[in-house]
Amino acid sequence: MIDGSTLESDYATQIPGLQAENLDEFTLGYECLLGANSKLTVRAIRRDLRSSFQFGFDASQDPVFVLGTPGKGNFDFLPPPKREDTALEVAAEGMWGRGRYRASYVLSRTWGNYPGLFNSDFGVSSPGQVSTFFMAGQDENSTGYLPNDRTHVVKLSGSYATRFGLGVGTVFTFETGTPINDFAAGSFGPYFPTFVAPRGSAGRTPSLWDLNFRLTYNFPIARRWQMQALLDLLHVGNPQRAVWVDESHYLTLDENGNPASPNPNYKQPIAYQPPMAARLGLEVSF
């Protein structure tokens, strides 16, 4: 039996000056009333990553695995992590008679070489191990549009309650696609790739739209008891557009270390929007 446990104090003493992942955020906003029941909001946001913590591999050292902040100390074989989020949001919300509404538009850009603690290049939850920011040689072409960059996002929602207990609500979303990478297998295989072209420059996934409705009806059954029937219509229109594609362009390296074995499924969808569905429910509160 092997005891593989490690005390937190062991890491704390081995990495002097290490900081948890943190960022700077600046927000500038403006709000005003539009009549008696509506509000307009305009907000600008800028976030800049200051430091990160992760696990990496350095073939020039013994041991070859390092923990720390890329760009510092034994982790200097990778550049400092960079992530810039910039967004402008315009939103309006309010009431109109027995109805409520909210509408928003976001113009944004996410740029850098570090997608974050979540390994969003491959859709894997592996905090501290971003497989595109792991070893020497992955820095070339690694700066560009990050995985969740969506230039335009529009959201519309509304609800209306009738006098006889029936309620209607809807949510509509439109968002432009995310950037596609041109990956080649690294020395550890395609899961630890290099960038053939600058990050996020190989096109984009399709734009998405999604429409949902909810119908409710209240049954007054007692003074302290309430019952509500629910009918949800999800993903109306059944768009099922691709939300994720295969970004591995080359699956191996040749004897000279150059990309080889083109992937026939490159840019082919591997995940879609969920299909249209209906959900019927009953809620009882007391």
d(CA 195, CA 131): 12
d(CA 214, CA 236): 11
Q: Model-level pTM?
A: 0.86
Judge whether 165 and 144 are in contact, CB under 8 Å. no
Q: What is the pLDDT of residues 183-218, one digit of tens each?
A: 999 888 889 999 999 999 999 999 999 999 999 998
d(CA 109, CA 87): 6
Q: What is the pLDDT of residues 225-259, one digit of tens each?
A: 888 999 999 999 999 999 999 999 999 999 888 99
Residues β-bridged to residue 124: 119
d(CA 103, CA 155): 6
Residue 283's CB is within 10 A of a number of other CB atoms, namely 11
Of the given ranges (2-6, 97-101, 124-128, 248-252), which has the lowest mean pLDDT? 2-6
**Helices (H) then strands (E): counts for the chain:** 1, 18
Confidence band for 20, pLDDT divided at 50, 70 and 90: confident
d(CA 152, CA 173): 11
The domains of the chain are located at 28-285
Can you read off the two tokens belonging to residue 138?
């992955």
Judge whether 221 and 241 are in contact, CB under 8 Å. no
d(CA 242, CA 203): 14
d(CA 87, CA 91): 13
Judge whether 124 and 134 are in contact, CB under 8 Å. no
Judge whether 148 and 120 are in contact, CB under 8 Å. yes
Q: Strand 248-253 vs strand 183-186: parallel, antiparallel, or unpaired?
A: parallel
Q: In which residue are the tokens 């230039």 written?
A: 151
